Structure 1
Amino acid sequence: MNFKKYILVGALSIAVFSCAPRQEINYMQDIDNISLDNAVKNSRSTLQPGDQLVITVTAKDMDVVKPFNQSYSSTSTITQYSTPSSNSLPQQLPVSGPTYLVDTDGSIMFPQIGAVSTKGENVETLRTKLVDLISVYVKNPVVDLKLINFKVSILGEVNRPGQYTIPDGSTTLLGALALAGDSTPYGIRTNVLIVRNVDGQITKERVDLTSAQFINSPYYYLKQNDMIYVQPNANREKSARVDPNTGLYISVASVIASLVIGVLALTKN
């Protein structure tokens, strides 16, 4: 009888210590107390060298704007990622049009105009800038501008780590985590690392997702090539150091213990 008690206590101990401790897992718990005034200021990422822009100029008279469109058109394919709750697979969306590469000096060469600086500009402000420049030659031009290679990397304790292309060139930290299937139960939500490279300057910031304070920080809206790392908690780190066959050993030990108990019972009879 005492032997059975020991087996029961051992099994309960394994079950208790194998479970992750309860943590604060709710995002932005104090959202009702936070002003969102500053969040809008950081909503658009400034353009960086290496960005690929598809720019098309149209007007009522298309013949007039032909000189402002490149003679060649490239076709790129971007991935439209589904949300974690959707069962549909990511869709490949072709984006075609005159493509411009932001040079290392932060400029693009635009037909009829020449070098146009993109430093400090985002998609919206550059569109307005091009409209103003083209308006000198064309009445009421319309400029369509898309950033087609906006990417972020999501690593660590998330369900689908990897590099993600954002079709509309803008996303939030929470939006990016949603693409990666959210943090696993073993991820530390109070200490998420973001590494950023802007104009060659590498910065890093640790964010507490359980507090809405980060909404007004420069790291709520992500920038081109941001890297997000969700750190594993102590339990995950411990399990990573444990022999991967531990579960098998426990199962075998349980079977042996059951056989021993059965043999002892038969022996007593």
Structure 2
Amino acid sequence: MILKKYFIYGFLSLAIFSCTPRQEINYMKDIESIALDNSIKNSRSTLQPGDQLIITITAKDLDVVKPFNQTYSSSSTITQYSNPSSNSLPQQIPVSGPTYSVDTDYNIVFPQVGKVSVQGENVESFRVKLAGLISQYVKDPVVDAKLINFRVSVVGEVTRPGTYVVPDGTTTIWGALGLAGDLTPFGVRQNVLVIRTVDGVITQNRIDLTSAQFINSPYYYLKQNDVIYVQPNSNREKAARVDPNTGLYISVASVLASLVIGVLALVKN
């Protein structure tokens, strides 16, 4: 009986100490004490080589703007992912339209206008710039521009690691983690790494998701091709080092222990 009690206590201790403490998975515990004064400029990504834009021009007289709208195949689509509103999987959204790519010199070639530089521009400022150029030919043109290949990657201790194309070309670190199904219980919430490449320069920053301070960080709003890495906690690392046959060994040991206890009981009787 004493040996059996030791086995029970041992399994209970293992179960208790292997659990992640509840307070470690709370987010932004001091949210109420932090002013959400993040500048709007951090939410706008400047356009980069390789970006793809769907651009359409409209006006009161649609015939006048036809030369500014290149033809395209409606079957040519790019898949984006919607941010899930609940625990459901992100939905794929096909988008299509006249598509323009930013070349290595930060230019796009637009019908009737020619090369237009996008360097230092975000989607909104570029829309205003292009409208100004077209207004030389068309009265009160309306420019609709959307970034359709805005990608972020989420890897490490998340439910669905991968690369996601985000609608409208803007998202926060919360949006990206939502697409990836949130962190697993083994993810370190106090040390999430964001890797960013802008104009060929690679930077990185570590974020504490349990503090609201990071909302004021320039890494709160994600940029094109950002990579989020969630490192595993010590419990996951220990589990990775454990022999995959450990469970089998424990089962065999338990069976042997039960047999020993049974034999001892018979001997005593």
Assess same fold via TM > 0.5. yes
Partner of 2:216: 216
Question: Cα gap change, 1:184/1:86 in structure 2, threshold over 3 Å: closer, same or farther?
Answer: closer
For residues 38 and 16 of structure 1, do their structure 2 counterparts lie closer, same or farther at Cα, with a shift above 3 Å needed? Answer: closer
Distance 2:229 2:85 in 1: 18
Contact kept, 8 Å, 2:189 with 2:208, in 1: the verdict is yes
The aligned residue for residue 108 of structure 2 is 108
CA contact (8 A) 2:208 2:214 kept: yes
Q: Distance in 2 between matches of 1:49 and 1:180?
A: 26
Amino acid at match of 1:19: C
The number of residue pairs the alignment matches comes to 268
**Does 112-121 or 10-19 show the bigger shift?**
10-19
1:1-269 to structure 2, matched below 5 A, reads: 1-73=1-73, 75-81=76-82, 83=84, 85-87=86-88, 89-269=89-269
Normalising by structure 1, we get a TM-score of: 0.93
Instruction: Output the CA distance in 1 between the equivalents of 2:84 and 2:247.
Output: 33
Per-residue Cα deviation, 1:234-256 (whole angstroms, up to 9, x for no partner):
11111111111212221222222
AA aligned to 1:194 is: V
User: What amino acid is the match of 1:35?
Assistant: A
CA distance 1:92–1:9, shift in 2 (3 Å)? closer
Question: 1:13, 1:36 → 2: CA distance?
Answer: 42
Moved more, 23-32 or 192-201: 23-32
The letter for the 2-side match of 1:83 is: P
Distance in 1 separating the partners of 2:91 and 2:22:
37
1:142 Cα deviation (Å)? 1.2
Partner-residue secondary structure (3-state), 1:7 = helix
Q: So what's the TM-score if we normalise by structure 2?
A: 0.93
Identity of aligned residues (%): 72
Residues 12 and 37 from structure 1, CA distance in 2 versus in 1: closer, same or farther, beyond 3 angstroms? closer
Mean CA deviation greater in 55-64 or 220-229: 55-64
- Secondary structure, in 3 states, of the residue corresponding to 1:136? coil
Distance 1:202 1:3 in 2: 58
8 A Cα contact 1:191 1:208, kept in partner:
yes
Separation in 2 of the partners of 1:85 and 1:260?
A: 52
SS at match of 1:168: helix
- Contact kept, 8 Å, 2:55 with 2:98, in 1: the verdict is yes
Equivalent AA in structure 1 for residue 172 of structure 2: T
Secondary structure of the 1:181 match is coil
Letter in 2 for 1:235: N
Tell me: CA distance 1:184–1:46, structure 2 relative to 1, closer, same or farther (3 Å). same
The one-letter amino acid of 2:163's match is Q
How far does the alpha carbon of each residue in 1:174-195 deviate from its partner, in whole angstroms, 9 at most, with x for none? 1111111111111111110000
Unaligned runs of 5+ in 1: none
**C-alpha contact 2:83 2:175 (8 A) present in aligned 1:** no
RMSD of Structure 2 on Structure 1 (CA): 1.8
CA distance in 2, matches of 1:7, 1:71: 74
After TM superposition, give the deviation of residue 209 of structure 1 in Å: 1.0
14 and 31 in structure 1: CA distance in 2 versus 1, 3 angstrom threshold: closer
Q: 1:197 to 1:38 in 2, by over 3 A?
A: same
Whole-angstrom distance in 1 between the partners of 2:245 and 2:25: 30
Using a 3 Å threshold, how does the CA distance of structure 1 residues 8 and 97 change in structure 2: closer, same or farther? closer
CA distance in 2, matches of 1:9, 1:217: 47
Q: Report how far residue 97 of structure 1 moved.
A: 1.4
Alpha-carbon separation, structure 1, partners of 2:93 and 2:100: 19
